[in-house]
Amino acid sequence: MNGPAGLAILFATASLLGQHGSPKAAPGGVSAQEKAPQRMTDAQAAELAKEALRAENPTAIRALLVRLKGHTFKSSKVPERELVLYAQGMLEARLGNLSAAAPPLKKLEKQWPKSPFMGEVQTLLAEEAVGQRRFKDAEGRLHRALASDLTSERKRKAQELLLWTLVEQGRPREGMPIVQSLRPLEGNEKPSEKGLAAIVEILGAAGDRAQIEGSRNAFLNLYPKSELLARVDLAYGRTLGRTGDAKGSAEVLRKLIKDHPSSVQADDARLALASLLTDGSLADAKDMPSAESLLAEIRKGGRKLPKGPAQLVELRVLVGKSLWEEALNLVQAMEAGGVPGEPEVKKLWQTAWNAWVAQRLEKGFPGELLARLKPGAFLALEAKGRTGVAELLAFNGLLEALPPLIAEAPAKERPGLRKAALAKVQPEAQPQGVLKLLPPRGDSPDEALARARAEAALEHWPQLRTALGRARPGQERMKALLRLLQRPMGKGETQILRLKEAEGWWARCTEKGEIREPLGILVADLRFQTGDVRGALALYPAKTAAADQRGWVALMRAQALLKLGQREQARLQIREARDEQGFKGQRDALARSLGAY
């Protein structure tokens, strides 16, 4: 029979045994047991376990343990075994042998999971797990212990141990509800060393300055020589810093470093002090070590700096020294190492990023700029920097890199960025880049002109024709228009159709004077080629503005005059153009035939 019922029978049996008294002594004054030791019954083993649980002397406890361990039960399921296993575990724990206490208690846990002793059993097994740094196992056992019917004193012990496991697992904030629900201590009771240290750390994580001071003072009074003292002071010093008392925090941290120079907590204190020195919270840093020297002390011990906090301190130092590229490299390493991007890290990176880009713009050389332009980096620049980057990339033949960058910029800036980039390039040199940069629709006149020039370079005639209609009038548009009208003849196209197209542009174009003149000459050429000599002569200018066109126009005017029977005017025309450049051989031949010179 198992469980409480079995224990009831056990206790009843013990009571009956007590009524019958001790075994009678054998003749001669020596008891039968002393004369010939007999094997205990299971009930006698249970009685011995009860006696052992009342023992306080270590020597007696050890002797009783030997006897309990030596007993063999009739069956592993007899009810008396429950009490004996419990007693073995408790006695080993009293002697400080938690590792020896664990096996019998685990047997009890497996055989009698609903035992009334289970609350205590789980607490002891949790304590053994903590000693072996199996904190997750300990945490689960302590939750089960606290869910059982523990006395208030034993519950407090389990709670303090649970607080320690949470702190050791880096989850101090989860312990605050437990701290708030702790039973007040009475009389001569005092918190355990680990429990009180955990309470200090938990209060520190919660930023409860008022309570952490009281708990820290209690720890100093109760455990003045504790190995956990540096840990307690570290939590206290950090809390002072987080709650606005930078000076007080620095004092505590410096004392910790002085009193415990070789401890792990001393390095943590050096890092916390370096953080205070670099975040601007210490108004007076006189007589303080530098942040760099503190970090160097940590490295001197061979310890690796913790990724997040130490890197943030290093980043502050680099930005403070205007070491922009080094700062950017550090942030890149932090991202590669999975360090979450804190707001301060992002702010420092943005400062370094804008300054580094400004240096690249001053030098006029992109360098690693493209490699650093990860998503979001262009938007993080100031407006002036974005414009400068757009111009720099365009000027250096990297126009095709701009479209995704400009898409990051605020919508109101995008037209200006495109305009700034296009002003730095010849569309004929980077036609594909220009077309990718331009918006799919809604070109401005300047954008339409850039599109026309790019399409002309790529010989995209239909697209060129469309873009010319929206392009800003001027010399560049005229060049693109002439390129369109001088394209190779298409299949089925005739000179008459080309003339009709040219005449249409001649009638619509708004350019004036010298800019318009080349189109007039082209239309005149087409008229001449299609037999409209008089119409051609009407368009050929009497005096051409462009020097490189004068020789050609003089030749064509002379030929037109000849065709119209005006030989003398043709001779005079060719003579006047004798010194002009261009088509000189044809003009000289015509001049000789006319007797011009």
Specify the 3-state DSSP secondary structure of 28. coil
Q: Read off the amino acid at residue 193.
A: E
CB 112 within 8 A of CB 6: no
Query: Residue 9: what pLDDT?
Result: 26
**CA 42, CA 48: separation in Å to the nearest integer?**
10
Average confidence (pLDDT) over 415-424: 94
pLDDT tens-digit series, residues 521-542: 999 999 999 999 999 999 999 8
Give the pLDDT score at 307. 76
pLDDT higher than 90, residue 460: yes
Other C-beta atoms lying within 10 Å of the C-beta of residue 84? 23
Q: Is the model's pLDDT at 545 over the cut of 90?
A: no
For residue 492, list its beta bridge partners: none
Confidence of residue 550 (pLDDT cuts 50, 70, 90): very high
DSSP codes, 381-448: S-HHHHHHHHHHHHHTT-GGGHHHHHHHS-GGGHHHHHHHHHTTS-TTTSHHHHHHHS-SS---HHHH
Residue 287: the pLDDT is 84
DSSP label at 285? Answer: -
pLDDT at 4 over 50: no
Q: What pLDDT digit, counting tens, does each position of 350-389 carry?
A: 999 999 999 999 999 888 999 999 999 999 999 999 999 9
Give the model's pLDDT for residue 157.
93
pLDDT at 14: 33
pLDDT surpasses 50 at 415: yes
The pLDDT of residue 341 is: 66
Q: How does residue 451 score in pLDDT terms, banded at 50, 70 and 90?
A: very high
Would you call 30 helix, strand, or coil by DSSP? strand
340 confidence band (pLDDT: 50, 70, 90): low
Return the minimum-mean-pLDDT range out of 35-44, 54-63, 251-260.
35-44
Task: Quote the percentage of the chain above a pLDDT of 90.
Answer: 78
Q: How far apart are CA 39 and CA 74, in angstroms?
A: 12
Contacts of 578 (CB under 8 A, 6+ apart): 587, 591, 596, 597
Instruction: Compute the residue count for the chain.
Output: 597
Tell me what the mean pLDDT of segment 459-479 comes to. 96
Q: What is the pLDDT of residue 335?
A: 85
Average pLDDT, the chain: 89
User: Would the pLDDT of 25 be above 50?
Assistant: no
Q: Is the pLDDT of residue 17 over 70?
A: no
Q: How would residue 152 be classed by pLDDT, with cut points 50, 70 and 90?
A: confident
| Furthest-apart CA atoms within the chain: distance in Å | 175
Q: What's residue 247's pLDDT?
A: 93
Spatial contact of 392 and 362, defined as CB atoms under 8 Å apart: no
Confidence of residue 117 (pLDDT cuts 50, 70, 90): very high
Instruction: Say whether pLDDT at 280 is over 50.
Output: yes
pLDDT for 339 equals 66
SS3 25: strand
* Percent of the chain with pLDDT strictly greater than 70: 93
Q: What is the pTM for the complete model shown? A: 0.67
The pLDDT score that the predictor gives to residue 282 is: 85
pLDDT at 16: 25
The pLDDT score that the predictor gives to residue 443 is 85
Please give the structure tokens belonging to residue 315: 């980043």
Q: How confident is the model at residue 301 (pLDDT cuts 50, 70, 90)?
A: low
CB atoms within 10 A of CB 260: 18
Task: Determine the Cα–Cα distance for residues 481 and 506; give it in Å rounded to an integer.
Answer: 10
pLDDT at res. 477 = 97
Residue 126 has pLDDT above 80, yes or no: yes
In which band, very low, low, confident or very high, does the pLDDT at 138 lie, cut at 50, 70 and 90?
A: very high
Alpha-carbon distance of 597 to 73, in angstroms, equals 143
Does the structure show a pLDDT above 50 at 548? yes
Compute the average pLDDT of residues 293-297. Answer: 90
Per-residue confidence (pLDDT) for residue 38, from 0 to 100: 67
- Whether the CB-CB separation of 433 and 425 falls below 8 Å is answered with yes
CA distance 200 to 213: 8
**pLDDT-derived band at 23, boundaries 50, 70, 90:** very low
Q: Quote the pLDDT of residue 1.
A: 39
| pLDDT > 70? residue 543 | yes
Q: How confident is the model at residue 568 (pLDDT cuts 50, 70, 90)?
A: very high
**Residue 543, phi then psi, degrees to nearest 5:** -135, 110
The closest of 476, 583, 566 to 525, measured between CA atoms, is 583
Residue 338 has pLDDT above 90, yes or no: no
Determine contact, residues 582/548, Cβ cutoff 8 Å: yes
